[in-house]
Chains A and B, each alone.
Chain A
Amino acid sequence: MTSVADLAAIAARIRGRVIEMSHAAGTPHLGSSLSCVDLLVATYWGPLRIDPRNPLDPDRDRFILSKGHAATALYAALAERGFFDPALLDTYDTDGGALPEHPGLQCVPGVEAATGSLGHGLPIALGMALAARIGRRPARQFVLMSDGECEEGSVWEAALFAPAHELDTVTVMVDYNKWQATGRSDEIMALAPLAEKWRAFGWDAAEVDGHDMAAVLAALSREPDGSGRPRVIVAHTVKGKGVSFMEDDNNWHYRIPTADEVRKARRELGLPEGTA
């Protein structure tokens, strides 16, 4: 397995790419993409059993980016993981291109579901979990959601279903960066205490620092323990993580970085000048 230091380097490269894509295409949601990069890297370079050379293997694990507005992070991670030529990232959000601001199903190999409207990923993942059970396939299902997304009722419909049917192959990660589009997520809706809510719904909930790669890996690597409880990892994160002038500043939900800001950010991430 790749070392934690290597994973940190991969995460830095992905962050650099994400920032460049936001700048080049003039697209928002940069802070939301940066907060979940470490979770993506830990999953894609950790327990997720996928093969970029056989991306539709029926026995594969599934990863669903339910917070589809972080598409740049997903695209950059898939490219880095070998699903497609990283040069394709330069076509992000261009007219007629394959990479829209929210991912489409198999718009590039590795995208398992179309997302963008919140609260859809978990029900889809539960269907995939039922399919794996029915087909006696060993697959696990990973879903990455945002904290604001936990305000959608469909999330809690799914949260009630999964434990009743002991869908313990399912792992949810909540990218708990404490912000949503226009304010603090704990103030707009009563999300806290979030882990306790999931526990009350019958889930095995763990809380981790979502930027501590080793801790995230440890939380992810736990195999189903026979209790039947699906797992949720409430990952405490920082919106805009990795760039000092973006961290925990919700202006970066919508702001587009200037060329100068891209240079500064890449420097902070320890990346060379220009495209990685």
Chain B
Amino acid sequence: MSALLPEIRDSAIARVNPVAKLAVAVFLSVSLLLSIDVVSASVALVLVSILLFWSGLGARQFWMRTAPLWLAAPFAGLTTVLYGEDSGALLLAWGLISVTEGSLSLGLAITLRVLAIGLPSIVLFATTDPTDLADGLAQVLRLPARFVLGGLAGMRMIGLFLDDWRALGQARRARGVGDAHVLVRLGTQAFALLVLAIRRGSKLATAMEAKGFGSDTPRTWARPSRFGFAEAVLLAIGVVIAGSSVAAAVFAGTWSFILDQS
């Protein structure tokens, strides 16, 4: 498990109830998806970056965690630049590829947007312990315990699946069937892992039931999950970031509501 979840250092953001973080991440994402323009994304990105100072993430951890995003964002932008909807002056044309002023600014807007949505989401959850999130979902949002704890127990098994996967690969090599094409090998090995996963899952379900899980008795929670001042502050910050970015875009005249067919 530690391979998937780095140590969570204590920080202002780490202490906030995960449900508040989830709400902020969702709220920011939705507000940034409403328009595709450079200004709203830039403003949100700058404000979110300031917030990162309270995350308690080390530099190395930050870059490791967000690495996929730094790759994905420019790619999404580049694709838009090369193949996206053209408008304005033509800058370059080569076969299917055409770069125009319009597609260039659209590409930039997409890149910034992927970052502005992705960064806070990744960072908020890099500072969240899954157990705390489950506590919050069950106690604050009142989601069913069966669903929340089932998911949480399943997550713990991911570490076991990593070991299983490695053992399966070694066993295949030992059995003389490890020379097949890599895709064939991955396919059959994935199926074998699925079979093992189902067996592990049903054993875990029996163990949980043996510990009284799933009975009619109302369940109590050993760890309180509270919603207080810190949570309200983070929510307010989220609203301010979303509000400022939208307001800036409207003020600058770049706001383009995605549902407007213009």
A binds B: no
Which residues of A come within 8 Å of B, CB atoms? none
